[in-house]
Amino acid sequence: MIARRSFLSTAAIGAGALFVAPGLALATVPTDRRFVFIIQRGAADGLDILRPTGDPAFAGLRGDLIGDDAGTRLDNMFSLHPALAEVGRMYGQGQALFVHAVASPYRDRSHFDGQNVLETGGAQPYVMRDGWLNRLVTMLPRSSDEAIAIAPMVPTALRGSVQVASFAPSALPHAADDLMTRVTALYADDPQLHTAWAAALETKGLATGANSGQDPASLGRLTAGFLTKPNGPRIAMLETLGWDTHTAQKGRLANQLRNLDAMLAALRDGLGPVWANTTVLVATEFGRTVAVNGTGGTDHGTGSVAMLVGGAVKGGRVIADWPGLAPANLYEARDLRPTGALDSLIAGAAAESLALDPERVGRGLFAQATRDRPMTGLLRI
């Protein structure tokens, strides 16, 4: 007998197929609002994404990485990386905001541990077994306990009591209709495989007509295709890889940000009028060192930047209790000192996005919610 998770991974070859990265996970809830979480795996450099060009110490620390183009000036302190052109336009339209110098409770600079803390909402790695996004779904009245992941594996943030199936696009050829019909007939009388196969076919039906390529723009359009289906999901998670820029950061980070920019623009365009009720949260497990290393990169750090984009966002602003980059102000003499709690941002954004009580969401999602109250006033809806 094939286990349900293994079966659905196999079924995805016929219903969709497998791809490496980035990935997407979705959960179905009965609401007209949409909430999307994008994780940047690898520790994205917030000091390069949203550059504190107004800090007197910044040019001396990061001048070689920035070069001649400091980016789009947002205010007297911050400039946006030039690769985020569409995000910059969203900012100008009041549909994007940034929260700088934020971090989860984790401080030890291990990717695996840091991502686990970020995705579970625990105070320490591996203390909590389920993910905050799965717990968020349980706070909503829903007609089904099913969720869906478009990824080789369901991300930790979406694992938990809400059951999750999977869909993963690929360049592999789709299974012929005749094969799908034969498999359906084969499993018709099997009490376990019939249910799993039916779920896989339902997922395939939701994806029909969507561009399911592997490039970032196609993934953005695919996500929008799911989120705009009348019977489709309303909560989504995407995971992007490759943010660990120990070497040659200038070119590598620019490419990463162009991909993220294209994904967000395609998601916006694909959602159409639904964009007005959509909130997208982008965050990473921790930041990177203030100083550049000997190979033109940066190493694992602490504080970073998170962003909110979407038609529901009360944007056009940067939220930061800026600690400064002078040596005496750094965390452990090397990192951007975090002055804001990422947990607080997530709880506030998720609650406001889905019209839930922020205090209840904070208590339900994060272990340290009693210390850091959810950030509010982030959205216009």
Q: What is the pLDDT of residue 189?
A: 72
**Residue-wise pLDDT tens digits, 279-289:** 999 999 999 99
Convert the pLDDT of each residue in 184-202 to its tens digit: 667 667 776 666 656 555 4
- Cα separation, 268 vs 262, whole angstroms: 10
Mean pLDDT value across residues 199-215: 54
- 3-class DSSP state of 62: helix
Residue 125, C-beta contacts closer than 8 angstroms, at least 6 positions apart: 106, 110, 112, 113, 114, 116, 117
Could you read off the pLDDT of 45-95 as tens digits, one per residue? Answer: 999 999 999 999 999 999 989 988 999 999 999 999 999 999 999 999 999
Which value, in Å, is the radius of gyration of the alpha carbons in the chain? 21
pLDDT at residue number 275 = 98
Q: Which of 208-212, 228-232, 326-330 holds the top average pLDDT?
A: 326-330
Residue 291 pLDDT exceeds 60: yes
CA proximity to 274, closest of 228, 230, 309, 313: 228
pLDDT score recorded for residue 149: 60
The mean pLDDT of 216-226, rounded to a whole number, is 91
Q: Which amino acid is at 232?
A: G
Collapsed DSSP state (helix, strand, coil) of residue 120: helix
**Is a pLDDT exceeding 90 seen at residue 212?**
no
CA distance 16 to 167: 6
Distance CA 225, CA 231 (A): 11
Cα four-point dihedral sign 127, 130, 133, 137 = negative
Determine the pLDDT at residue 170.
57
DSSP secondary structure string for all residues of 241-253: -----SSSHHHHH
- Enumerate residues 6+ apart whose C-beta is below 8 A from 208: none
Torsion over CA: 64, 67, 73, 74 (sign) = negative
What pLDDT score was predicted for residue 369?
56
**pLDDT higher than threshold 60 for residue 297:** yes
**Over the stretch 231-270, which tens digit does the pLDDT of each residue have?**
788 888 999 999 999 999 999 999 999 999 999 999 999 9
Q: What is the pTM of this model?
A: 0.85
Q: What pLDDT is stored for residue 232 in this prediction?
A: 80
Of the candidates 298, 283, 369, the one whose C-alpha atom is nearest the C-alpha of residue 103 is 283
The answer on pLDDT for 18 being more than 80 is: no
pLDDT per residue as tens digits for the range 149-185: 656 678 999 999 887 655 666 554 455 455 556 666 6
Q: What does the pLDDT read at residue 313?
A: 98
Say if residue 121's pLDDT is above 80.
Answer: yes
Contact 283, 36 (CB under 8 A): no
Predicted pLDDT at 181:
60
Phi and psi for 39 in degrees, rounded to 5? -100, 135
The share of the chain scoring above pLDDT 90, in percent, equals 65
Helices (H) and strands (E) in the chain, counts: 12, 13
